[in-house]
């Protein structure tokens, strides 16, 4: 049940993004020093569901073991034109912030051979893991490609975006990580 609520919350995050309702915030006297409902929602952390996937070089990558880095997870496929177009920029972002950022490209539903050929043909050097059975994409509620999610060092999903990102948008996504 807890996992289902977490998944629903993540899907809601991806659908609604940063949209918030404008409301008058009561002063401290009116609320007796307690947090308002909107402040409680704002302060609630959404922990990204853990996963364990195999990379192209055969090593296993587990999200919960990456807590020392900020992680940008990108769900993609080789047949997705927009995914292919943003791959060089994802690699550029990784290189620009290699000390505290890991860009993790999760290929969804394709075989290792197909993905390996694609990476080699396009001269890419990016961290790719395989979600061949599409279980991780399903857990995250992914419905379209590409979808990108920022996960901070605490394991919290802090931002999500469906659709192709420009490099400038990727840098903006990176800027949401706390110092």
CB atoms within 10 A of CB 158: 18
**Facing residues of 106 across strands?**
75, 129
Query: Helix 167-175 and helix 81-96: axis angle, to 10°?
Result: 50
Architecture of domain 2-20+27-175: 3-Layer(aba) Sandwich (3.40)
16-24: long-range contacts at Cβ-Cβ below 8 A with a sequence spacing of 24 or more? 17/160, 17/161, 18/159
Considering only CA atoms, give the Rg of the chain. Answer: 18
Q: What are phi and psi of 134, to 5 degrees?
A: 65, 20
What pTM, to 2 d.p., does this model score?
Answer: 0.76
80-118 pLDDT tens trace: 999 999 999 999 999 999 999 999 999 999 999 999 999
Domain ranges for the chain:
2-20+27-175
Residue 145 DSSP SS3: coil
Which pLDDT band, with edges at 50, 70 and 90, does 42 fall under?
A: low
């Amino acid at each position: 049940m807890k996992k289902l609520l977490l998944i629903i919350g993540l899907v809601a995050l991806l659908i609604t993004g940063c949209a918030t309702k404008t409301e008058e915030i009561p002063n401290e006297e009116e609320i007796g020093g307690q947090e308002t409902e909107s402040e409680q929602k704002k302060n609630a952390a959404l922990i990204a569901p853990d996963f364990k996937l195999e990379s192209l070089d055969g090593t296993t990558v587990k999200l919960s073991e990456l807590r020392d880095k900020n992680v940008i997870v990108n769900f993609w496929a080789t047949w997705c034109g927009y995914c292919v177009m943003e791959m060089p920029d994802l690699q550029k972002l990784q290189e620009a912030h290699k000390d505290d950022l890991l860009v993790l490209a999760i290929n969804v539903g394709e075989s290792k051979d197909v993905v390996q050929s694609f990476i080699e043909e396009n001269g890419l050097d990016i961290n790719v893991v395989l979600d061949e059975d599409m279980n991780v994409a399903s857990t995250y509620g992914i419905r379209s490609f590409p979808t990108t999610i920022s996960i901070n060092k605490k394991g919290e999903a802090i931002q999500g975006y469906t659709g192709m990102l420009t490099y400038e948008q990727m840098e903006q996504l990176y800027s949401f990580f706390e110092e």
